[in-house]
Amino acid sequence: MDIQWNILAEYAPFFLKGTLLTIGLSLAGILIGTILGLFIGLGKMMKNKWLSFPFGLYITLFRGTPMLVQIMLIHFAVVPLFTGGTNGIAAAILTLSLNSAAYIAEIFRAGIQSIDKGQMEAARSLGMTHVQAMRYVILPQAFKRMIPPLGNEFIVLIKESSLASLVAAPELMYWGRAMQGQYFRVWEPYITAALIYLILTLSLSYVLSRLERRLATE
């Protein structure tokens, strides 16, 4: 196996652009997913079974089906339904957000339910409403416990964002596939892509472990 460095050099700017889009897609996915996930998680925790059912169903559907299927449906069916055309980047962001929201909803629920019941009771006994108790007492404590699993979800999302290459969103894996198509080479594009993904996920887990250590000592 001899590596053709010249074609790698030629593709370097594309890999760079692709990496930036990969980061952008994952960031958008985790941010939107976190906001949606909070509401879906709270929704699923509602006492009324009829009200909580749709949120539970959402979580079951998105966690129980492959993301590849989800991105295809969203790209070819859902996005055109609203815009009349397809848009790879929009489909990718939408899929990553909706999918991670399902996982993050469960992270929120577990985080909130891990807080001792006495905290809510103490807050309520002081006259706070349920919403105030959630906002000032429960959620701040729960968020701290959610940081490690949220970080994991972010790492998963970076990797899964590679599926966006299949709907022509020009991220990292898209350029890997483009390079393979142009030069009929497999080692150069995919090892490069793998290395870049590895750098992204390793840096993120490094940042996360630092953050966790700092929170633990607080």
Partner 1 sequence: MIEVKNLKKSFGANVVLKDINVTVKPREVVVVIGPSGSGKSTFLRCINLLESITDGHVYIEGIDITDKKSDINKVRTEVGMVFQQFNLFPHKKVIENIMLAPMKVRNVTAEQARKKGLELLRKVGLEDKAETYPDSLSGGQKQRVAIARALAMEPKIMLFDEPTSALDPEMVGEVLEVMKQLAKEGMTMVVVTHEMGFAKEVGDRVIFMDGGLIVEENTPNQLFDDPKESRTKAFLSKVL
DSSP state of 207: H
In the complex, what is the shortest distance from the CB of residue 214 to partner 1, in angstroms, rounded to a whole number? Answer: 15
Task: Between 84 and 118, name the residue whose CB sits nearer to partner 1.
Answer: 118
Gap between the Cα atoms of 208 and 18, Å rounded: 24
128 lies in the binding site for partner 1 (CB under 8 A):
yes
Query: What residues have CB less than 8 Å from 156, skipping those under 6 apart?
Result: 100, 103
122 lies in the binding site for partner 1 (CB under 8 A):
yes
Q: Which of 86, 141, 180, 205 binds partner 1 (CB under 8 A)?
A: 141
Gap between the Cα atoms of 155 and 200, Å rounded: 8
Task: Between 87 and 141, name the residue whose CB sits nearer to partner 1.
Answer: 141
Gap between the Cα atoms of 98 and 34, Å rounded: 10
Gap between the Cα atoms of 139 and 41, Å rounded: 12
Q: How far out from the chain centre does Cα 190 lie?
A: 23
Q: Which of 136, 191, 202, 211 binds partner 1 (CB under 8 A)?
A: 136
Q: Are 52 and 46 in contact (CB under 8 A)?
A: yes
35 lies in the binding site for partner 1 (CB under 8 A):
no
User: Mask: binding to partner 1, 77-116, rule CB under 8 A, as x and -?
Assistant: ---------------------------------------x
Interacting residues with partner 1 (CB under 8 A) = 116, 118-119, 121-129, 132, 136-137, 140-141, 144
